[in-house]
Structure 1
Amino acid sequence: MKKLYYAAHTYMIIGLVGGLYYRELTKLNDFTGDSQLGLVHTHVLALGMLFFLIVLALEKVFTLSAGRLFNAFFWTYNAGLALTVTVMTVRGTLTVLGHPTPAIAAHIAGGGHIALTVGLVFFFINLGKRIAGAPAAADLDARPQATGR
């Protein structure tokens, strides 16, 4: 569970720093147009921090980390998000500075999106298996209760 908490916390910091970086870089360069840099902040906070906070809650209920695919999900998803956000940051920075973006950036970003997708597939397969193996609420109610005597 701590791994999920640390991931959410790290993405919170990266998201806030990304927002600050966008604000300061565009202000220093008198840039008023659109760039991918303006999307980094929200992508990191939503796909990183918020997503891992939700996974943390699901971990508490279904013990997702006990599933075989948990580590595959965790590392594939994180690699995909890191790659995607890095390319967004580089492309946005180049746009703000008035430089062209290399064509390879689109291919690298595509690789990041593919890794994110594969990570999500691992996540949902793992979640489905953990839900299927979880005791039903009716089973929990039927257990004998401690009387405290």
Structure 2
Amino acid sequence: MKKIYNAAHIYMIVGLVSGFYYREVTKIKHFTGDSQLGLVHTHVLALGMLFFLIVLMLEKQFALSTVKLFGWFFWVYNAGLAVTVAMMTLHGTLTVLGHGSGAAIALVAGLGHILLTVGLILFFITLGKRIPARREIADRGAAPAEPLADA
């Protein structure tokens, strides 16, 4: 659980620093247009900090880390987010500085998104393995929820 908390905490710091970086770089360069740099702050806070705070709650409830795939999810997702955010920052900074970005940045950013997608798939597989089936709930003595009637 500490590893998940630390990830959320680090993403909170990176998210806040990226917002500060965006504000200062655009102010220094008198940049008023749109760039990916303005999106880094919210991406890091949402896909990093908030996501891992939710994972932390799910870990507490379902012991996700007991599933072998959890480690794979954790590292693949973090790698994907790091690559994606790095490329967004690079592309946005180049835009603010008045330079174009090449196909290589788009390619690496695409790889980051692929890693994020694989990480999310691993997360949902992991979560699915830890959510008890209706039979297991009934065996523990808890009444399963009634299915909703079609209206």
Query: Which TM-score applies when normalising by structure 1?
Result: 0.91
| d(CA) in 2 for partners of 1:137, 1:12 | 40
Q: Identify the residue that residue 77 of structure 1 maps to in structure 2.
A: 77
Instruction: Report the CA distance between 1:103 and its aligned residue.
Output: 1.4
Q: Which stretches in structure 2 are left out of the alignment for 5+ residues?
A: 144-151
Question: Per-residue CA shift, 1:53-100, capped at 9, x if unaligned?
Answer: 000000000000000100000000000000000000000000000011
Moved over 6 A (4+): none
Identity of aligned residues (%): 68
Q: Structure 1 residue 132: deviation in Å?
A: 3.1
- Match for residue 86 of structure 1? 86
How far apart, CA to CA, are the structure 2 residues paired with 1:82 and 1:67? 24
3-state secondary structure, aligned to 2:102: coil
1:108-147 matches, cutoff 5 A:
108-132=108-132, 136=137, 139=140, 141=142
Q: What displacement does 1:138 show?
A: 7.7
Q: Distance in 2 between matches of 1:8 and 1:140?
A: 36
Instruction: Write the distance in 2 (CA, Å) between the matches of 1:96 and 1:137.
Output: 59
Corresponding residue of 1:51: 51
Q: Which runs of 5+ in 1 are unaligned?
A: 143-149
Amino acid at match of 2:107: H
